[in-house]
Amino acid sequence: MHDEFLCHVTAYGICGGRRIGVPLGTYRAPTLALALWWLRDRATWIAERLDPQPGDAPFPPNALIPVGDGVTDVSSVLRAWCADMDQQELIADQLAAGRLVRIATSDDTTEYELLAESVDALRMQRTIPALVVPVA
């Protein structure tokens, strides 16, 4: 069992013709349960900012509009992921096995990525000798 997990949330978009990543948060979780909680919390945080509930704050008229046809509703995808207990178990199993977990969704302008990985797995990778392949 891996004891500590490094979690990241990043938004990626195109700026000046280049793909740019904007870090939205990092957390070093001391337990698997806290890593999962943090990923769900960040997913909900993103969803609430992209799709706030009209009664939550004073919004100018017509400030909130539905996404266009054919555009992924990132907020709905993230909320569904948070509520899917089968997905949560799968993520927990993958992290407990020392695997990198990546949850990503995008709309027409931005990709949102949640990553988590065992700190122990990262340390173990550093101790493995690099694979050296001769180039002719």
The string of DSSP codes covering 37-85 is: HHHHHHHHHHHHHHS--TTSS---TT---PPPTTS--HHHHHHHHHH-H
Q: What is the mean pLDDT of residues 64-90?
A: 89
Over the stretch 11-58, which tens digit does the pLDDT of each residue have? 999 999 999 999 999 999 999 999 999 999 999 999 988 887 656 667
The rounded percent of the chain whose pLDDT value lies above 70 is 79
pTM listed for this prediction: 0.80
The lowest-confidence range among 5-9, 83-87, 99-103, 119-123 is 119-123
1 SS3 class:
coil
Place 135 in a pLDDT band, splitting at 50, 70 and 90. Answer: low
Q: Going by DSSP bridges, is the β-strand pair 101-106/5-15 parallel, antiparallel, or unpaired?
A: unpaired
Residue 132 has which token pair?
């050296």
Q: What is the mean pLDDT of residues 70-97?
A: 93
pLDDT at 62: 72
23 SS3 class:
strand
